[in-house]
Amino acid sequence: MPSTAKNTVYLLAANIYQKIFSLIYLFLLARFLGVENFGKYSFAFSFAVLFSIFLDLGAGPVLTREIARDERKVKEYLNNLFGLKFILSFFVFGLIFLLINLSNYPDLTKIYVYSAALIMILDSFSFTFYQVFRGLLNLKYEALGVIFTRTISFAVGLTFIILKLSPVLIILPILFGSIFYFLNAFFFLKRKLGFFPSIQLQKPVLKLLLGIAFPFFIAGIFSQIFGAIDTVLLSYLKGDAAVGLYASAQKILVAVGALVGGSLSGALYPAFSFYFTRDKQQLHSLFNKTIFYSALVFMPAVLGVWLLGEKIIFFVYGQEFILAAGTLRIISLSLPLMLFDYLILSFLNACEKQKVNTLNRGLACLTLVVFNLILIPHFSHLGSAIACLMGFLVLFFLGFYQSLTIVKLEGKYLQKKFLGILFASLLMSLLIIFLKEKIHVLLLVGSGVLVYLFCLYLLKVVGQEEIRMLKDALKTTKLKSLN
């Protein structure tokens, strides 16, 4: 059985690969579609995602956990969840079809929504199959599926863009990738486990799985609302152009947050869990180090975005999207909160505070919806950016408060580190201000990063203690695999 550490490397590398290529493709796609059509495209996926949790009612993570506990139940559990998902997929697609056709959206938007719903359903089935491999502690096949799928989608999508095909067809590369992802999972399931899933609906098994899944289902509802409702509300209240401007800015920072925060929290989750039960002092120290690691990224990033907002938007998307610069600056203030949210969510889950995370997300969702409804009519996409910031503020304060009931802040340590990071960030900012109108934005960003890293080195902000702690934390994935 592969070690947990090796599995973590497989999936982490695949996810980083996927996020980088997805972001590059998104930039190219936005330029090709233009503001309004990109708004339609972004709305379609956000609208479909709102219904994704109803495809398995939160039972996906439960499948992994229960299979990890008893491998003999693989076939029984998978077949029953497959049967449930098969029925629910028709219901979900029908509901999406009905709701979008009750609106006055144009035909192109409806085509995008139908395609996005189909992609979501295929990916949901694929994810269920890969949950089995997660339960068996073998993530290599999921990692291969992610890499192959993203490569195919990127290659086909780039070809479509170069050929300047109709915007109606531009969603097909993602659909092709999802089909391949599904077939890949289906193939590995048969090859490694020796069976194809079949439709079963056994009441005792479904009752067991769904009973355990209920907290995941509620948390999933809040997560889907928090991640998609701003785009949907903006589309309803202000139209495609506003969505295009908002999504173009939001997706840059969400990608950065997911890449850094998601990767770091995924790597540290086993360490949090390990130390929570075995060494509270190490847990306390690691939590403070994660705050430091986050600050290393967000402080220079926020200052850089505020100074280079227009240049970043122009370079990535072109002049047509230049009004998104203000939105990018506002959402950049959410970046530190976003990074902390990934870490705090992972920390509280590892410390058996899942219900707290669910409640926090419910309150943040309510905040997000209320602020969007108040601000969008007056400020359009800027209003959604402010609402996004308010939602993450609620998540941060609630999560941070709960975290401090488990660990304490090392005030002197963090103050010293933050001052060093701030000083390095300010020197980087001075360089950017001085060269802002003299060199290309890529050279400017590269120069800024080099100056920032050099200042960190001179000030000895990153010391052996931080490096050692991170290495020790990552080693706990291997320790947990041996227990």
124 touches 89 (CB < 8 A): yes
In a domain, 101, yes or no: yes
In a domain, 230, yes or no: no
Burial classification of residue 359, based on how many CB atoms lie within 10 Å of its CB (0-12 exposed, 13-18 middle, 19 or more buried): middle
The answer to whether residues 152 and 12 belong to one domain is yes
201, 228, 262 — which closes off a domain? 201
The answer to whether residues 257 and 162 belong to one domain is no
14 touches 146 (CB < 8 A): yes
Q: Tens digit of pLDDT for each residue in 24-44?
A: 999 999 999 999 999 999 999
The answer to whether residues 53 and 154 belong to one domain is yes
pLDDT at position 429 is 95
In a domain, 211, yes or no: no
pLDDT at position 433 is 94
The answer to whether residues 100 and 197 belong to one domain is yes
The answer to whether residues 133 and 280 belong to one domain is no
The single-letter DSSP state of residue 167 is G
- Encode burial over 366-405: b for 16+ CB neighbours within 10 A, e otherwise: ebbbebbeebbeebbbbbbbbbbbbbbebbbebbeebbee
Helix axes 4-49, 203-238, angle to 10 degrees: 50
104 touches 33 (CB < 8 A): no
pLDDT at position 465 is 62
pLDDT at position 249 is 93
The answer to whether residues 103 and 28 belong to one domain is yes
The answer to whether residues 195 and 281 belong to one domain is no
- The pTM for the full model equals 0.88
321 touches 244 (CB < 8 A): yes
7 touches 144 (CB < 8 A): no
In a domain, 17, yes or no: yes
The answer to whether residues 121 and 252 belong to one domain is no
Least confident of 43-57, 134-148, 203-217, 370-384: 134-148
The domain in which residue 9 lies consists of 1-201
Question: How many domains are contained in the chain?
Answer: 2
pLDDT at position 20 is 85
∠ CA 252-257-259, rounded to 5° = 95
Least confident of 1-5, 161-165, 350-354, 366-370: 1-5
The answer to whether residues 135 and 248 belong to one domain is no
In a domain, 332, yes or no: yes
How many residues in the chain? Answer: 483
336 touches 272 (CB < 8 A): no
Per-residue tokens: 472: 């020790």
Say what the alpha-carbon torsion angle 253, 258, 264, 270 is, to the nearest 10 degrees: 150
Residue 294 has pLDDT above 80, yes or no: yes
151, 169, 201 — which closes off a domain? 201
The answer to whether residues 189 and 258 belong to one domain is no
284 touches 407 (CB < 8 A): yes
pLDDT at position 478 is 47
Q: Tens digit of pLDDT for each residue in 120-140?
A: 999 999 888 887 777 676 667
The answer to whether residues 196 and 251 belong to one domain is no
For 381, residues 6+ apart whose C-beta sits below 8 A from its C-beta are 234, 238, 242, 243, 245, 246, 249, 323, 324, 327
Mean pLDDT (the chain) is 86
In a domain, 176, yes or no: yes
pLDDT at position 330 is 95
Average pLDDT over residues 377-381: 95
156 touches 173 (CB < 8 A): yes
In a domain, 94, yes or no: yes
In a domain, 237, yes or no: no
The answer to whether residues 392 and 460 belong to one domain is yes
149, 174, 201 — which closes off a domain? 201
| Ranges 154-158, 218-222, 288-292, most confident | 154-158
Residue 90 has pLDDT above 50, yes or no: yes
Q: Tens digit of pLDDT for each residue in 350-363?
A: 787 878 888 999 99
pLDDT at position 157 is 92
Q: Which residue in the block uniquely carries the two structure tokens 């077949």?
A: 79
